[in-house]
Amino acid sequence: MFSGSARLLRRIVLTVLGVAILGIGIAMLVLPGPGFLVVALGFFVLSLEYDWARERFERARQKAADLADQAAARPLYSMFTIFFGVAMVAAGILWIVDDALPASSPWSGGSIIFSGLVVLSTMIVSMEQARQARRRGQPTPAELIERREQAEHRERDRDQDEERHTGRGRPAQEKEEEGDEGRVTAPGSPG
């Protein structure tokens, strides 16, 4: 389908575009913005050329979906995410139309447009899921995520407490075999 030089050019453009989107997403992890969505989009663009990026895209996509559900629960985050998606679509159109931009082509512009559409559709789906859940009187996806994280946190705390009380670092089987004989007591206490 592509000649050798066209394939190389496509690979270079997608790599540069994917890394740029990934960099923006990483910056957005600490700055305001839909960081995980943009990271997922960066991995998606890279996954068009690299197998290693496909697995990372799936993990980032799941995290982005969870965060989109949480963002849908906050109007300011929702508005910013929608603005960002529209801006990406506009930038993609600009990349197709303006030949003076670096790496300007239908491929790079189309990838940016697609990325913006993914941001918008993810946000819209999350907002709709939250609206439907509220209408049915059920917890929203963001509330379910919060409950899951709280349960995981309680389980971690419980495991840490158990480790402190049962002898840190020893395998469970050793603890069971020792029974009462292996009990550690404070100096001067009975037992």
Domain ranges of the chain: 4-152
* Mean predicted confidence (pLDDT) in 73-85: 84
Contact predicate 11/49, CB 8 Å: yes
CA distance 131 to 125: 10
CA-to-CA dists, residue 112 to 2, 20, 145, 154, angstroms:
21, 11, 29, 41
Question: How large is the average pLDDT for residues 64-90?
Answer: 81
Assess whether pLDDT exceeds 90 at residue 126: no
pLDDT for res 102: 80
Greatest mean pLDDT among 16-20, 136-140, 178-182, 183-187 lies in 16-20
pLDDT of residue 69: 75
Residue 93 has pLDDT above 90, yes or no: yes
The answer to whether residue 36 scores a pLDDT higher than 70 is yes
Q: Residue 97's pLDDT band (boundaries 50, 70, 90)?
A: very high
pLDDT at res. 185: 43
The per-residue pLDDT for 88 is 87
Please give the pLDDT value at position 87.
Answer: 92
Residue 1 CA to residue 74 CA, distance in Å, equals 46
CA angle (33 as vertex; 30, 39 as ends), nearest 5 = 75
**Percentage of the chain modeled with pLDDT above 90:** 7
Asked if residue 130 has pLDDT above 70, the reply is yes
What pLDDT does 175 receive? 46
Residue 92 pLDDT greater than 50, yes or no: yes
pLDDT above 50: residue 180:
no
